[in-house]
Structure 1
Amino acid sequence: MSEFTYSEAALRDLASQVLALAKAQGATACDVEVSEGAGQNISVRLDEVETIEYNRDKGVSVSVYLGQRKGHASTSDFSPTALADTVQAALAIARYTAADEFAGPADPALLCTEFPDLDLYHPWDLPVEQAIALAQECEQAGRQVDARINNSDGATVSTSSARWVYGNSQGFLGAGTSTRYSVSAALIAEDDVGMQRDYWYTAARAPADLEAPAAVGRKAGERTVRRLGARRLKTGEYPVLFEPAVASSLIGHWVSAVSGSSLYRKSSFLLDSLGQSVFAPCVTITEDPFTLRGFASGAFDGEGVATKARTLVDAGVQQGYFLSSYSARKLGMQTTGNAGGPHNLFVAPTLPASQMLAELGTGLLVTELLGHGINLVTGDYSRGAAGFWVENGVIQYPVEEITIAGNLREMYRQIVAIGDDALASSSRKVGSILLERMTVAGD
């Protein structure tokens, strides 16, 4: 069975039909995305198959403009009648929508004209029987790590493929095809003190780039067992080291704070931060849309605007925002090619991962965050956490049921070091992050 029902040429033809219909019906501008996706999700628990899911979907999403009034509609029906009805629905919405002086398509001069192959498509003919075997292998490897692992939340093997075409009435028509695969496991261990759970995963565009299922399972098992016997900490102020999986969230909060919608709504603690020292001088962050096999790679954004590699934070100083055409107009600026979000982000490391615990000295290593206590307007930060207490660079014991608190504005400026242990399975490449101090609430 073919992954896709429609060829790229067929999707391009559908997009062109929609654009022609919109023009014929009086739209002053239009953009359209036509897409198709397919996937398979297999999960096992305690060696038994739990779920086998297949998905196949398709859709047409249309935005039309009548001057500066905008309407949007979508359909999963590709028939000529459905396409015409969808365009009519979008136009009907536009007629009853208030004009917005900032609405409209992207500047034609900024649209993408070069389309390099970013190596995002790697088809994998994975029969369901083989997917089950891989999931079982993953879970079994984890359960064999330690006799105290007596239960499991299961292991999962997922595959997905997508093909899409984006076009607009300014003559732009661009296409893409991609794949994404993942393997994960979550295990449960128990001792006299209680039960603990942890997980691990791997994700990649190409099957060859995935960690071996057995290695994923073992990592999940090792992470679970090391949490047994966790205690609470005494309340105080300590240096805090975020391991890569949770350090990524700190960068995510920064992305939200310097994205267009937060800025023009004035709901960000980083308003007017261009040219300002936002991070400690050791922090440099770059964006590269052209990373081969990257999870956020693309020659153009969601409006057809050409993307570009750039430095967003240089030695702690904010150099750029994440803007679409709309948010840029609201701010009196130019789009940065980020309609749809940031592209691959890279936070430059400053220390080998092997030296990060020594640099921490005595303090808290955070491996899990709980809750959503972040206020992007003020930067206030408070989250439940679990991890390990470290003394003189050596892990002493696991800790849980604690809360870490601070303010992101201060936390970013108190970054002491960044490790070179960034995870491959993410579009935000950031290693461990060490902060000078945070308030830790426990006993």
Structure 2
Amino acid sequence: MTDLLPHLEAALRAARQHGADHADAVVIRGRSRSAMIRQGQAEGLRHAESLSLGLRVFHGRRVATVSGNELGRAALDQLAERACAMARVVPPSPDDGLADRPLIPVPASMVAGLDLLDPAAAPTMETLLDRAREMEDAALSHDGITNSSGASASTTLQDVALATSSGFAGQYRRSGHGYGISILAGTGTLMQRDYAFHNTVHQADLDSPASLGHMAARRALARLNPVRPRTGLYPVLFDPRVAGSLLAHFAGAINGSAIVQEASFLKDRLNDAVFGRGITITDDPTLPRLSGSRPFDGEGVACQPLNLVEDGRLHHWLLDSRCARRLGLPASNGRASRSGEGSVRPGTSNLFLHAGTHSPEELRRDIKEGVLITELMGNAINMLTGDYSRGGSGFMIRNGEIAEPVSGITVAGSLPDMFARLLPANDLNLMAGHHAPTIRIDQMSLAGD
């Protein structure tokens, strides 16, 4: 691993020489390969390398952020000079500043314990093509599968380094591997599409290409000849493929930036019962072999698990240092996310809803007529009020069993009400990339025929 920290230290020195009181800098360097097979033919072969350095400087009560993609001393000096010149003329921002409690030093054991770097050799382009072809061949072997939108395989390697003028310096590497396929069943106007994908840190944790191809084919075939249910109120189950989207809306509503701007329907609900009893939602950046894990956040603060919701009660906002200061809170809770351009804002790592005690089959057993949602589209979400409306497709539930496919429906409700009534199943699988198990919410509005 090339040591990127000396380049960051040079950037910080240059920033101080040009008048910065404090500064921090981040470098994100990535390499990736990907290959696609469509109808047996190779296309979309790609090899990419990227590097981005973000420098943030503080001058008095002002802050400026600039970015570049060169690590030479002259380029870093020019970057620092430009950042400091900007910081002298921008409006004051008194709540901006370095983190109050940086992690010094970064224990090597902490980085190693996250197991974010696959020790196996990265697959070659030929291997990626073979795996994509295996995926597509498996899907096309099913009767009724008529076309392919393509199967792809990819591998990535990323280096992340962060340093601050307060003494923090840390660096780690992250690998990534992924398969994906989109497949078509039926013909003409009756054609239906579905997909399967899997992304992991280690190759050994990936589902086999053939299993994903078969899964996509079965899903597409199951969607043939859909109907539209009559408009009404139904109990709704969200499949794990889409249940995580509800968590994404929740994360947006408790993001410190939204709370500071009073742009969230949860802005006055801290320490209130937002979910039902027994519901726990955790953001945990310390879980090994997961893509959201990290040894430190975007400001160099130690990463610790955080139960955002316990027994249904909302206990924390997602905070970086700026939002914590704006809200009068003691310090960041280690949720700063950082782009390669250097901008900082609160975010999540591995956010997940804890599993419940009942299986998906048990959750739907008493449903005489309901809907299982397997795909969502559109995004008519009002984060000020929590009004929720999205297009969807999936399957009817009749007498506790999954029945005919449905499409062209709109499911609507209110996120505060949905959060208060959701019930999780026991099928959470973080290694599958799911952030939530199957979720049941009763009495949602469904627009159909």
Q: Answer whether TM exceeds 0.5 for this pair.
A: yes
Mapping for residues 41-440 of structure 1, pairs under 5 Å: 41-108=34-101, 113-115=106-108, 116=110, 117=112, 118-122=114-118, 123-145=120-142, 147-190=143-186, 194-333=190-329, 334-340=331-337, 341-350=347-356, 351-426=358-433, 429-440=435-446
How far 1:349 moved relative to its partner? 1.3
How far 1:108 moved relative to its partner? 3.8
SS of the aligned residue for 1:372 comes to strand
Separation (CA, whole Å) in 2 of partners of 1:29 and 1:379: 39
Separation (CA, whole Å) in 2 of partners of 1:109 and 1:297: 18
Write out per-residue CA displacement over residues 324-368 of structure 1, whole angstroms, 9 at most, x where no aligned residue. 001111111121110111121232211223423325442000001
Question: Which one-letter code corresponds to 1:272 in the other structure?
Answer: D
Instruction: Tell me if the contact between 1:278 and 1:316 (Cα under 8 Å) persists in the aligned partners.
Output: yes
Separation (CA, whole Å) in 1 of partners of 2:296 and 2:106: 9
Separation (CA, whole Å) in 2 of partners of 1:112 and 1:280: 40
**Comparing 415-424 and 322-331, the one that deviates more:** 415-424
Residue identity (%): 34
TM-score (norm 1): 0.95
Write out per-residue CA displacement over residues 392-433 of structure 1, whole angstroms, 9 at most, x where no aligned residue. 11112000011000000001111133332435232x631100
SS of the aligned residue for 1:81 comes to helix
Separation (CA, whole Å) in 1 of partners of 2:5 and 2:188: 62
SS of the aligned residue for 1:16 comes to helix
**Comparing 122-131 and 35-44, the one that deviates more:** 122-131
Matched, 1:441 2:447: yes
Question: Which one-letter code corresponds to 1:163 in the other structure?
Answer: D
Quickly say closer, same or farther: Cα 1:282–1:392, change in 2 above 3 A: farther
Instruction: Tell me if the contact between 1:357 and 1:394 (Cα under 8 Å) persists in the aligned partners.
Output: yes
Separation (CA, whole Å) in 1 of partners of 2:251 and 2:194: 27
Quickly say closer, same or farther: Cα 1:47–1:207, change in 2 above 3 A: same
Write out per-residue CA displacement over residues 196-247 of structure 1, whole angstroms, 9 at most, x where no aligned residue. 0000001100000000000011101011000001010100000000000100
The aligned counterpart of 2:344 is: none
How far 1:153 moved relative to its partner? 0.5
Instruction: Tell me if the contact between 1:356 and 1:419 (Cα under 8 Å) persists in the aligned partners.
Output: no
How far 1:110 moved relative to its partner? 6.2
**Comparing 19-28 and 229-238, the one that deviates more:** 19-28
Question: Which one-letter code corresponds to 1:126 in the other structure?
Answer: P
Separation (CA, whole Å) in 2 of partners of 1:130 and 1:343: 30
Instruction: Tell me if the contact between 1:41 and 1:54 (Cα under 8 Å) persists in the aligned partners.
Output: yes
Instruction: Tell me if the contact between 1:360 and 1:434 (Cα under 8 Å) persists in the aligned partners.
Output: no
Question: Which one-letter code corresponds to 2:81 in the other structure?
Answer: Q
Q: Which segments of structure 1 move beyond 3 Å, counting only runs of 4 or more?
A: 108-115
How far 1:193 moved relative to its partner? 6.5
Separation (CA, whole Å) in 1 of partners of 2:306 and 2:428: 22
How far 1:191 moved relative to its partner? 5.1
Q: 2:28 aligns with which of 35, 54, 73?
A: 35
Instruction: Tell me if the contact between 2:103 and 2:296 (Cα under 8 Å) persists in the aligned partners.
Output: no
Quickly say closer, same or farther: Cα 1:344–1:112, change in 2 above 3 A: farther
Q: What RMSD, in angstroms, separates the aligned Cα atoms of the two structures?
A: 1.5
Instruction: Tell me if the contact between 1:387 and 1:399 (Cα under 8 Å) persists in the aligned partners.
Output: yes
Instruction: Tell me if the contact between 2:424 and 2:437 (Cα under 8 Å) persists in the aligned partners.
Output: no
Instruction: Tell me if the contact between 1:8 and 1:164 (Cα under 8 Å) persists in the aligned partners.
Output: no
